[in-house]
Amino acid sequence: MNFKLMILASEPKFAAEAQEAGIDRIFFDLEILNKAERQKGRDTVLSHNNINELPSIRKVLSYSKLLVRTNPINPNLQNEIETIINYGADILMLPMAYSSIDAQKFVELVGGRAKVCVMIETSQALARIDNILNVQGIDELFFGLNDLHISLGLSFMFELLSGGLVEYLAKKCIGKKMPFGFGGIARIGDGILPAEKILGEHLRLGSESVILSRTFKGINNNKIDLKNEVAKVKKEIRKIHRWDTEQFINNSLEIKEITNNILK
């Protein structure tokens, strides 16, 4: 299994740097509809990217894939998808799906011209996961822990991991042989819930992708060595691949304990 690293990028220079650092997918985000209202008061990133910036990103990519997150289902989505495909996206990601009807509509609009990724990030999609998995033409799912924990009224997004809901979704995907990924990680040695702990769960559950957080771009204009930080992640993944069953179990228990302490 090729575990894929993704990072948000809106400028050609950073996209090229990310590709050179060994990041598998350059993530260009167009989602804006209702997002500010959903995530009001939270420490999240709201993108204000212009769709016409896509060709300049596409131009610098030779082996990293270009993933574009569209807006949710809306009357203008067909035009948006046509433009994204014409600009050369490899993967289109649908946010805020509520049902198999949303997923089916998205598949039809893409029409086999790019890979399709559907995000599971609403309580409705969680409850309807079996129907969504039965939609033909979906290539992979991604569990958006931030919006999903908001939708469920939880306090901390990684409650979904410690409480078993991510494992529930993972087992559903594995049963249908559907590739999936979830959430994001900070740099190795960083994060309120350490990145290496989260990576352990990714590999235990069979996840195939994760988003690298904004800490990989540096905080408050502090420049970091992206290539070195990505290398640390890949080294940690190789290390985790050598874990035995007991180590994976202990890691899961530690995540539960850390999450409970955060909630307290």
* Mean pLDDT within 166-191: 96
- Exposure string over 151-160, b if 16+ CB within 10 A, otherwise e: beebebbbbb
* pLDDT (tens digit per residue) in 78-120: 999 999 999 999 999 999 999 999 999 999 999 999 999 999 9
Higher confidence at residue 204 or residue 45?
A: 204
Distance CA 244, CA 246 (A): 6
Say which residue the tokens 């609403």 belong to. 122
3-state DSSP call for residue 256? Answer: helix
Residue 26's closest CA among 237, 212, 221, 223? 212
Asked if 18 and 26 touch (Cβ cutoff 8 Å), the reply is: yes
What is the signed CA dihedral for 68, 72, 77, 81, rounded to 10 degrees?
20
Q: Which residues contact 78 (CB under 8 A, 6 or more apart)?
A: 109
* pLDDT (tens digit per residue) in 28-87: 999 998 755 645 444 555 567 899 999 999 999 999 999 999 999 999 999 999 999 999
Asked if 207 and 181 touch (Cβ cutoff 8 Å), the reply is: yes
Please tell me the predicted confidence (pLDDT) of residue 43.
52
Of the listed ranges 118-122, 218-222, 258-262, the one predicted with least confidence: 218-222
